[in-house]
Amino acid sequence: MERLHKIILEEGNALSSNVLKVDSFLNHQVDPELMYEMGTYFKNYFKDKGITKIFTIESSGIAPSVMTAMQMGLKMVTLKKQGSKILSGDVYQTTVHSFTKDMNYELTLSKKFIDSEDKILIIDDFLANGEAALGAARLVEEAGASVAGIGIVIEKSFQPGPQILKEKGYDVYSLARIKKLGENLIEFEK
């Protein structure tokens, strides 16, 4: 996605060989036109997969997921990372390790928002080690539903996540694939 590549180069901040800060357009301040365009790309790629719902993990995946859901005419479900007094009882949970925050959290899905016939599209902001996407997929599969695909805004191709997900048989579609990061260095896959 050329526009996304351009914005990453102009506004992204490569802090190290593993960390890319994109807070000006994706996860602190959001560019709604860019999110809509991302939704169009995800819709076009996954349109023939029989998807019934779109899942994302709070919070940076919400904007592109909502735009995709709107364009596909589907419901969007947010998997929660934070504990909640009102979200208890009939839930699916799994432990996920956050690469960015270097900590574990409980990913939670209310059982009332999924059934065994669902075909789920998971959308997330980053794919690095694959932990978040694998956690979301575990919840979907624990419910007896299927993962129809995984849409990623920015993939760090040099980290193990993309290969792990593909080896597990998931259809992974990334809008921007970065092959190398370094302080003030961002290189995309061709």
Residue 145, annotated as binding a ligand? no
Asked whether residue 131 is marked as a ligand-binding residue, the answer is: yes
Cβ atoms of 22 and 8 within 8 Å: the answer is yes
Q: Establish whether 69 is an annotated binding residue.
A: no
Tens digit of each residue's pLDDT (9 = 90 or more) over 141-180: 999 999 999 999 999 999 999 999 999 999 999 999 999 9
The predicted structure's pLDDT at residue 98? 81
pLDDT at 100 exceeding the cut of 80: no
Residue 83 has pLDDT above 70, yes or no: no
pLDDT range class, residue 87, cuts 50, 70, 90: low
Any known ligand binding at 18?
Answer: no
Higher pLDDT, residue 179 or 102: 179
DSSP state of 23: I
Supply the pLDDT for residue 86: 62
Identify the DSSP state of 24: I
- pLDDT grade for 62, boundaries at 50, 70 and 90: very high
Q: Name all domains of the chain by residue range, CATH numbers in brackets.
A: 32-177 (3.40.50.2020)
Check the annotation: does 133 bind a ligand. no
Its pTM stands at 0.94
